[in-house]
Amino acid sequence: MFPSFNIQSPEVAIEADLQKKIDFKTKPAGSLGQLEALALQLGKIQNTLTPNVSKPQMIVFAADHGVVAQGVSLFPQEVTPQMVMNFLMGGAAVSVFCKQHNVPLRVVDTGVAADLEAHPLLGQRKVAFASKDFSIEAAMSAEESLSALQAGLDEADLAIDAGKNLLMFGEMGIGNTCVSSCMMSALLGISPEDSAGRGTGLDQEGVSHKAQVIKSSLERAEQETGQAVADWTAETLAQQVGGFEILAIAGAMLRSAERNTAFVVDGFICSVALLFAEKVNPNVLSFAVFSHQSNEQAHKHLLSQFKAQPLLSLELRLGEGSGGILAYPLINSACVFINEMASFESAGVSDAK
């Protein structure tokens, strides 16, 4: 059984004062667009008129997936540990962008199908050497699903205890777009044809095959559980078709929200993690900052589901947290303008009539 989470909605008592402060900056009302809404959100989450995201942390969770055996990815499974090492050595996209913006990077092994050497940036929280092939059996046991969620809880606690005031999450795991699409179909009741996308670059035939694998996997799971997908609990869904790194991200999101810390949602896979976290506790959504709309066909549907307006739309579909770190300067700018921009009164500028 998953733990319960005491997530309180962001403080509304301060909203009027935050809005007044935003409106009386030296600009026409609303002219900074989404940055104004973001400043308001961050101020409410932190319960302050001076929100601050100067101590961010990027956490990339990595795991492998048994369903890769069904040919749902162009890349072989050994790419997962190879890319983890690339992250640690500073050669991946998220690595160089984190370096560019002075954001510390941590990579967490929740289920990579290889032994990884110790490294200062590597968190060792391996649940198992990959999930099982959910097209033929449940992806994980109840104990494994709880351990994966707990990995995220512990990582969020570690960061927040160290003084981090904005958490960003990324993922790495060959086959995890297939897992995410399957979880999305189960959570929203949409067809695999609508949830499956190109992932690492599949052609249309490959996407169709992925959708068929998802369809047969959900049918297998319904038979095994004796329950329709729509009746599954979060625990059942995680065990049947989940992924270790996706559950860990969901856990980190839930703990961040419980501890009144904003977190940045990357692309499709991280959005599915948020969708799962919402099933566990709907209040988690108020703490999410949506970084970008990815080029995965189902991500637009997910953003609509959340009623979210992401900060960027760059046709990204890399994952890793790459969209999250690219959005960080804008998130920081929302704090800079509310904290440092002059008001009409302080600048001696006439206000609108």
72-86: average pLDDT: 96
Residue 197: is its pLDDT beyond 90? no
Distance (Å, rounded) from C-alpha 280 to C-alpha 296? 25
The distance of Cα 241 from the centroid of its chain, to the nearest Å, equals 18
pLDDT category of residue 252 using cuts at 50, 70 and 90: very high
Find the length of the chain: 353
Catalytic-role residue among 171, 278, 296, 320: 320
Going by pLDDT thresholds of 50, 70 and 90, the confidence category of residue 1 is confident
Q: Residue 353 above 70 pLDDT?
A: no
Amino acid at 181: S
| Strand 56-63, strand 105-111: pairing | parallel
Distance CA(192)–CA(142), nearest Å, equals 25
* The residue type at 124: Q
Q: What is the mean pLDDT of residues 333-340?
A: 98
SS (H, E, C) 106-165: EEEEEECCCCCCCCCCEEECCCCCCCCCCCCCCCCCHHHHHHHHHHHHHHHHHHHHCCCC
User: How many other C-beta atoms can be found within 10 angstroms of the C-beta atom of residue 20?
Assistant: 11
pLDDT of residue 183: 98
With 90 as the cut, is the pLDDT of residue 297 above it? no
Whether 199 has a pLDDT exceeding 80, the answer reads no
For residue 351, pLDDT beyond 90? no
Least confident of 79-83, 193-197, 346-350: 346-350
Across all residues in the chain, what is the average pLDDT? 96
The predicted-structure confidence for 159-180, as pLDDT tens digits, reads as follows 999 999 999 999 999 999 999 9
- Band (pLDDT 50/70/90 cuts) for residue 316 is very high
How far, CA to CA in Å, does 10 sit from each of 15, 220, 253? 10, 41, 15
Q: How far apart are CA 320 and CA 113, in angstroms?
A: 18
The owner of tokens 């297939």 is 178
Poorest-pLDDT segment among 7-21, 248-262, 315-329, 339-353: 339-353
* Rounded alpha-carbon distances, angstroms, from residue 105 to 80, 97, 234: 17, 10, 29
pLDDT, tens digit, 9 for 90 and up, residues 95-150: 999 999 999 999 999 999 999 999 999 999 999 999 999 999 999 999 999 999 99
Mean pLDDT value of segment 338-353? 85
Distance between CA atoms of residues 82 and 129, nearest Å: 15
Structural domains of the chain sorted by starting position, each given as residue range(s) with its CATH number in brackets: 56-330 (3.40.50.10210)
Q: Indicate if 320 belongs to the active site.
A: yes
